[in-house]
Chains A and B, each alone.
Chain A
Amino acid sequence: MILRAVFGFILGMFYIGLIAQGSRQHLVADSSSVPRNTIYLEVLGAGGLGSLNYERIFLDKSRFMAGARIGVGSIHFTDFTRRFNPDLLFPAGVFLCYGKRIKAELAGGTTITSIVYPDPEDLKPARRSEIHGWAAIGMRYQRSANGLLLRLAYTPIIEFGVWRHWAGASIGYAF
């Protein structure tokens, strides 16, 4: 459990580091052809049922684009005793895109989950944290100016070491 938490923390720091690196580059030289920041809502996808995400582009050369994303989602806000005790899911990862307005996207990352289950010993609520993997291959529509972002992707999940077919659709605002 401690190892898992440490691993999750290191991964989280890695993604935040990538996003921060994107910010630093932005300060040094801004030659971007697309807005660097995006907030978007993903239905299904890497967050499971859905997630709210922030992404930051840290490389933008010609038609290639690379960035990192981090988000938060949930399954239940109350646990099975009906008390406020939300399940939390943090999808995070890196992505590569190629194209003009309509881009092909390839992505991968992890989702750190903190979900409340009945404890097998006494059936009382007990929170359990886990790390899972995900990948994504899809398309995105993104203009060079601030504005709408649309994504559609096949987003298989690797949960408990098992591959699961999944997909996601996103809508957001790039700025």
Chain B
Amino acid sequence: MRYTTLFLAAALPFSACKKQEPDIQNLNGGRIVVMGHGGMGIHSTYPLDSPAGVLSCLSSDADGSEIDVQLTSDSVLVAYHSGDLSEGTNMSGPVWRHTWAEIQQGRFTGVPYTDHHIMSLDAFFGHVDVHDRAISLDIKLHPDGTPDAAYYGTFINAIIRLVDSHSFSDRFYIESQSPQFLSMLKERRSDLKLFYYPPTFEDGLSTAQTLGVFGISIDMNKISADQMASAHAQGFWVALWNAESNSDNEEAIRLAPEIIQTDRLDHLIGLLD
């Protein structure tokens, strides 16, 4: 009896550590698409959206990567997150004020002694086979937010050139905060899976209905389980982002989205393995 008790006491921690298979009710058959935020996320020693960061993400067991996209003044799509290049690089000013040749001269200034550069999406996808990977392009438009149909048109042309030049899977997504941009893009290419990136869930749901997009991409702190169910009931996929910590990953899984873009990639992969 004493030995049985001892055995049970010893076995308890192991049974407690066993992974719980989450019961996920979503529109992807209960499966969550795992993506790194800008590659390996904000905590990584690789800069966000850098070639090394995105390649490291694609070399993991993640489904794929989210990549932030901006347009240079000479219409080259580049991967960069912030509104001003002074955030994390040795350059300054918005991307759209610089040519690709100028952007190429800059470098990320994260970890000392490292020399990572901003990448052109066309060059990147020219070298990396992503035909079976999930890729989500987060379109970062004109930083002042002014709707500009001509600028949007140039951006859309560049995206269509990219999509037509490379072999992407059916898990290729495009996210934008601008309903006008999404509407213009949908008019040109109705086959693309577009996500509206709203300031609030209510705005997201109503605008997604109006635009007829594929889904909603939203900060995980701005959506409840009931709202998730409501989006699903109306047929919208939901991509969650801002999963910055391990506990955020666990909370994001509980919300049962179709996609999680995480800053703690290896942890999320481990949870869903």
Residues of A within 8 A of B (CB): 48-49, 75-76, 80-82, 89, 111, 113, 115, 117-118, 122-123, 128, 130, 132, 157, 159-160, 162, 164, 166
B residues 54-103 near A (Cβ < 8 Å) are: 55-56, 59-60, 90
A-B contact count (CB 8 A): 55
Number of residues of chain B lying within 8 A (CB) of chain A: 21
Are B52 and A80 in contact, with the CB atoms below 8 A? yes
Chain A residues whose C-beta falls within 8 Å of the C-beta of B90 in the assembled complex: 162
Chain B residues whose C-beta falls within 8 Å of the C-beta of A113 in the assembled complex: 113
The reply on B171 being an interface residue by CB < 8 A is no
The 4 closest A-B pairs by CB, nearest first: A80-B56, A48-B112, A123-B127, A80-B52
Chain B residues whose C-beta falls within 8 Å of the C-beta of A49 in the assembled complex: 45, 111-112
5 A-B pairs besides A81-B55, A81-B56, A160-B115 with CB distance below 8 A are A117-B52, A123-B51, A123-B55, A123-B128, A157-B112
The reply on B116 being an interface residue by CB < 8 A is yes
Most chain B CB inside 10 Å of its own CB: which residue of A80, A132, A160: A80
Chain A residues whose C-beta falls within 8 Å of the C-beta of B53 in the assembled complex: 80
Are B52 and A48 in contact, with the CB atoms below 8 A? no
Q: Given A75-B45, A80-B59, A123-B128, answer yes or no on A164-B112 (Cβ-Cβ < 8 Å).
A: yes
B residues 128-163 near A (Cβ < 8 Å) are: 128
Are A75 and B114 in contact, with the CB atoms below 8 A? yes
| Minimal beta-carbon separation of A42 from chain B (angstroms) | 13
The reply on B46 being an interface residue by CB < 8 A is yes
Are A118 and B45 in contact, with the CB atoms below 8 A? no
| Minimal beta-carbon separation of B260 from chain A (angstroms) | 21
| Contact residues of A: prevailing secondary structure | strand
Chain B residues whose C-beta falls within 8 Å of the C-beta of A89 in the assembled complex: 113
| Minimal beta-carbon separation of A8 from chain B (angstroms) | 13
27 contacts between A and B (CB under 8 A): A48-B112, A48-B113, A49-B45, A49-B111, A75-B45, A75-B111, A80-B53, A80-B56, A80-B59, A81-B55, A81-B56, A113-B113, A115-B113, A118-B51, A118-B55, A122-B127, A123-B51, A123-B55, A123-B124, A123-B127, A130-B113, A130-B115, A157-B112, A160-B107, A164-B109, A164-B112, A166-B112
Most chain B CB inside 10 Å of its own CB: which residue of A75, A89, A130, A132: A75
C-alpha spacing A157/B114, complex, angstroms: 12
B residues 8-66 near A (Cβ < 8 Å) are: 45-46, 51-53, 55-56, 59-60
Chain B residues whose C-beta falls within 8 Å of the C-beta of A117 in the assembled complex: 52, 115-116
C-alpha spacing A125/B60, complex, angstroms: 16
| Minimal beta-carbon separation of B158 from chain A (angstroms) | 21
The proximity string for B residues 199-234 relative to A, scoring 1 for CB distances below 8 Å and 0 otherwise, is 000000000000000000000000000000000000
C-alpha spacing A81/B46, complex, angstroms: 13
C-alpha spacing A157/B113, complex, angstroms: 9
Are B114 and A82 in contact, with the CB atoms below 8 A? no
Write the chain B residue with the least CB distance to A124.
B127
Are B52 and A118 in contact, with the CB atoms below 8 A? yes
Are A159 and B51 in contact, with the CB atoms below 8 A? no
| Minimal beta-carbon separation of A129 from chain B (angstroms) | 11
Write the chain B residue with the least CB distance to A89.
B113
C-alpha spacing A1/B90, complex, angstroms: 24
Write the chain A residue with the least CB distance to B54.
A80
Q: Given A89-B113, A115-B113, A166-B112, answer yes or no on A82-B56 (Cβ-Cβ < 8 Å).
A: yes
Write the chain B residue with the least CB distance to A76.
B45
